[in-house]
Amino acid sequence: MEKYKILEHTADVGIEAEGRTLEKAFENVASGMLSLMIDPEKVSEKESYSLKVKGRDEKELLVAFLSELLYKYEVNDILPKRVDISLLTNKDLKAEVYGEKIDLKRHTIDTQIKAATYHQLAIEKNKNWRIRVIFDI
């Protein structure tokens, strides 16, 4: 099973991610988002922080989760290498995020993501969980 794939979109870019569990699918979307921004192989797990978000449903929770990762990147310069979700309900998410501060000597930003959007947002359960999200760039 492929963790994620990049989706072409007219003015933006998207990710389609899969996981055996919804937690794993959320984690794979976060990995896919990082891969759009920077080469993930150049990011280490030197720091960690706890993340908590709330939403009215799974879609709002996903957008809040990705928005919080982008916020930490924009405000604290932290690139998220790996996310471990410890709690995921249809209204709450708790996770530990591992990564490092951006170092412009080693990190080159490929795509500047402005936001995760609700446009074409989908969370589906078949054999595995599948998530599609489009990012505003």
pLDDT above 90: residue 3: no
What is the distance of C-alpha 137 from the center of its chain? 14
Question: Domain 4-136, CATH 3.40.50.1820 — does that match?
Answer: no
Please provide the average confidence, as pLDDT, over all residues in the chain: 94
Question: The tokens of 100 are what?
Answer: 């490092």
Question: The tokens of 77 are what?
Answer: 């310069």
Mean pLDDT within 96-122: 94
Q: What percent of the chain has pLDDT over 90?
A: 85
Report the alpha-carbon angle 6-75-11, nearest 5. 30
CA–CA separation, 123 vs 65, rounded Å? 14
Q: Residue 10: its pLDDT value, please?
A: 67
Greater pLDDT, 11 or 119: 119
Question: The tokens of 15 are what?
Answer: 């990710």
pLDDT above 70: residue 136: yes
Q: Residue 63: its pLDDT value, please?
A: 98
Q: What is the pTM of this model?
A: 0.92
- List all residues 6 or more positions away from 52 whose beta carbon is below 8 Å from its beta carbon: 92, 93, 94, 95
Q: Residue 7: its pLDDT value, please?
A: 76
